[in-house]
Amino acid sequence: MKVDKTDGEWAKELSPEQFAVLRKKATEAPFSGEYDSTFDPGTYSCAACGNNLFESKTKFDARCGWPSFYDAIPGSVVFNDDTSTGVVRTEVTCAVCGGHLGHVFDGEKFGTPTDQRYCINSLSLKFEP
């Protein structure tokens, strides 16, 4: 079920930092996020709507400063072209509420099963053991 709220409604529910990332597509500073170095078993869900996004078994240490995953839970995310920096990147958003999560990169040779790196803002996530 899709969640459709106004920016005003989201602003009341999210912290200002979460609102900036999830609704305005900001990026948190590298190495500042709560989940960058978390590797406990569990599930990462959308901080805005609770949609399950990533299993901890797909998380890896890319040393990039943001939580990195090599795969998302099927059907949990949507991919969009992002040309905001002048370079085409693939934005990752929550399939339920449309919240901005981060970006996915292909072919970086981290040795993961998918050869992908989902570079995700901690502020867009909630971890549940």
Of 49, 94, 97, 119, which is the active-site residue? 119
* Residue 94 φ/ψ, nearest 5 degrees: -70, 135
* pLDDT the model gives residue 13: 97
What are 91-127's pLDDT values in tens digits?
999 999 999 999 999 999 999 999 999 999 999 999 9
The residues of the chain scoring below 50 in pLDDT are none
* pLDDT the model gives residue 63: 97
* pLDDT the model gives residue 1: 82
- Domains by residue range for the chain, with CATH: 7-128 (2.170.150.20)
**Structure pTM?**
0.96
49 in active site = no
